[in-house]
Every structure is written in C-alpha cells, then in structure tokens.
Amino acid sequence: MSYAYLLRNVSLFAQLNEDELELLAAEFILQHFRRGQVLFQQGSATNCLYIVKSGSVQVTAFGKDNAITYTDVFRAEQYFGEFSLLDGLPRSGEAVALEHSDLLLLTRPTFFRFLERQTMVAIKLLVTVSRRMRFAESAIDQPLVRSAEEKLVRLLLNIAQHYQAESRFSVRLTADDLAALSGVTRSAAHSVIDKLREQGLIELDRSHIARVNVAKLQAHFQRMVQGVPLGAN
C-alpha cells in the first residue's frame, strides 16, 4: 500500500510531484505504538520524521523545574519531527502515544541516502528550506500585534512585500507552518486560515496555501487595524 497521500501534507515535501512522493513514501516504515508508549524523550538523539496514520500523539516540552512550556496533540495525517530529520539535533520535547496509534517513520540516514539517489528532490528541498528561512526573517520583523488573525495576515503581507508581489503569490505553507513562524497556536492558525479562505483572500491546494490575493488581503488588514499602515509601530 502506498502512503504517498500522507506525505502531501508535509510542507517540507510541498514542491515534490506525485512520482517523487511515491518514491519517498516507500522509504517510510509503519510502526505501531501502544497507549502511553513514549516515542522519544526531550533531549534524545532520535532523528525521525513521524506522520500519524491513525491514533494520536501528544508532544510536550519542559523548561526549568520540569514546567511545561509547550504541548500539542497530533492526529491522523498530521506530522512532527521534521527539524530533527534535517539537522539531527536533540529533541526539544517528548512524544507519547495517547492511544493505540500507527505512525509512519522516516529516519535521517534513510532520508539522506534517498536524497543521494534523487538529486532533483534534494534540489527542491533546498529551495523549500531557503524560502522558509526568508519567511522566518519576515516573521522576526513583525511589531507587537493584538490577535492571531492580525499576526498571520501581517506575516503574509510581509512575505509578499519581501518578494515584491503586488497581486498574487504562492507561499506553499500550511497553517501549522504559519503557527510556528508567528507564535500563535495551531488551532488558532487553522481557524484564521479557514476564515481567509472563505473570504476569498487565499486559495488552498490540499493543506497548503497555494495563492494569496495581496490586494484584497491588504484591504482586509487595513480594516482590521482601523487604518494603521502596514509596518507602523
């Protein structure tokens, strides 16, 4: 059975075509986790990308005195661990199966061997990561804002400004990506993206933002902040 359909939601692979996704899907391993089983601990050196096929997994990060600094739940067709897949650094949190769950795993060594064979895929991933870095720079430049919607709209407009896009442009980011870049929760990001899509301000391709109507989004932003110009403090 091919699991390529599960890879389509992973923003790291957003630029890959169907044939490339099929080849990459063959490198994943299906693994079952029982309820309460720890997938990895914070600080561990595991370096897999995980995609939830069924069930649910909670990821929690701990700070000083074991205080929880972050927690989230990933369900069917969602993914986590892509940063460790790329950089191999220790895990920033721990993951625990909340119920009996089936997950697809791609290890870092397997992934890099695949990239050695598929040079075009490697080039596409370099382009994707480079764009992500530029998007992250746009997010850093954001002033203090009031709401999740304002944060996300401002971020999209800053990206458009960075690329000098005056009408429409494609970002190939998911709501989860925007949440990570802007510092809002995943649930809030999904709610905002749904609202912007319903208003015709953005268009989605699967779970990715395929097109942004810059002019309409700019007008929406101006109404939102009651005439305060973009970039004003």
Instruction: Show the domains of the chain with their CATH numbers.
Output: 4-117 (2.60.120.10), 119-224 (1.10.10.10)
> What span, in angstroms and rounded, lies between the C-alpha atoms of 26 and 184?
34
Residue 135: both structure tokens together: 């998007």
> Going along 76-167, which residue ranges are E strands?
79-80, 94-97, 101-107
The predicted pLDDT at position 161 comes to 76
Residue 17 has, within 13 A of its CA and on its CB side, a CA count of: 3
Give one DSSP letter per residue of 157-222, joined into a string: HHHHHHTT-SSEE-----HHHHHHHHT--HHHHHHHHHHHHHTTSEEEETTEEEEEEHHHHHHHHH
What would the pLDDT profile of 61-115 be if each residue is shown by its tens digit? Answer: 888 888 888 888 999 988 888 878 888 788 888 999 999 999 999 999 999 999 9
**Is 79:9 a contact under the CB 8 Å cutoff?**
yes
19 Cα distance to chain centroid = 22
Question: Which residue, 79, 95, 100, 126, is CA-closest to 34?
Answer: 100
What confidence score (pLDDT) does residue 114 get? 94
**How distant, in Å, are the alpha carbons of 6, 10, 47 from that of 112?**
20, 17, 12
Parallel/antiparallel/unpaired status of strands 168-169 and 56-62: unpaired
| pLDDT block averages, 10 residues each, the chain of length 233 | 85 87 95 96 88 95 84 90 82 92 95 92 79 58 68 85 69 79 81 92 84 89 68 44
- pLDDT, position 231: 45
pTM value surpassing 0.75? no
